[in-house]
Chains A and B, each alone.
Chain A
Amino acid sequence: DAGVIQSPRHEVTEMGQEVTLRCKPISGHNSLFWYRQTMMRGLELLIYFNNNVPIDDSGMPEDRFSAKMPNASFSTLKIQPSEPRDSAVYFCASSHSSRNTGELFFGEGSRLTVL
């Protein structure tokens, strides 16, 4: 199993540009989570999906952030327009919600720097 795959691993962009982060969850997992990690705020949940349906997006900072999951094997997190305060590491994680382990499998993260 390849694990959760995220791309790009690193992104440097200028303020105002659109940023798209991508995630491929583990095959067979039906829950997908987007987290953001910063030194100041730690690991924050942005949004999660069950069976491709967004369940809770209350963690999305503002309307500049949007996430989609068009099918079971792909999700995107988009920031438009990006701002320097969006600089962080963005993690995607997946799990099999019907198994009672609750274990999350994380990707390696996408490190975003907005200049």
Chain B
Amino acid sequence: SQQGEEDPQALSIQEGENATMNCSYKTSINNLQWYRQNSGRGLVHLILIRSNESEKHSGRLRVTLDTSKKSSSLLITAFRAADTASYFCATDSGNTPLVFGKGTRLSVIA
């Protein structure tokens, strides 16, 4: 069963705008990770945030984590057509394998 649930399921963005995706989860976690999946490809790790962190940056990515609300957000600044992909959050609770959400499909408005 999914632990993380992304919102929205799909999002269309104009190039140059910022894209924000959210993830909610149900139980306490150690870490939360975001992955990207291009169509027909495997998932690729983007960023990890630990439960004692509230914000993390990597290039055009900004991740926030609010453990009191059991939620995280992924912000992609200055969206490019090449960012078109599905984005997944995944959580772990110690020595447990990652549990993934169903993802947000991010696409460009032509």
By a beta-carbon cutoff of 8 Å, the part of chain A in contact with chain B is 4, 33, 35, 42-43, 45, 48, 56, 91, 93, 101-109
Contact = CB atoms under 8 A, between A and B. Distances in A.
Contact of B100 (A42, A48, A101, A102): A42
Contact of A43 (B30, B33, B41, B100): B100
Nearest to B44: A106
A45 B97 CA distance: 8
Q: Which of the listed residues A101, A103, A108 has the most CB atoms from chain B within 10 Å of its own CB?
A: A103
B13 interface: no
Given A91-B43, A106-B43, A101 B48 contact: yes
Main secondary structure of the interface of B (DSSP, over half): strand
B41 A104 contact: no
Interface string B15-52: 00000000000000011010100000111110010000
A42 B42 contact: no
A104 B45 contact: yes
A55 B48 CA distance: 24
A102 B31 contact: yes
A45 B45 contact: no
B97 A108 contact: no
B100 A103 contact: no
Contact of A103 (B42, B48, B97, B102): B48
Contacts of A45: 97-99
B106 to A, nearest CB: 16
B66 to A, nearest CB: 20
B48 A108 contact: no
A63 B48 CA distance: 35
Contacts of A43: 43, 88, 100, 102-103
B103 A42 contact: yes
A33 B97 contact: yes
Given A4-B42, A42-B2, A91-B42, A104 B98 contact: yes
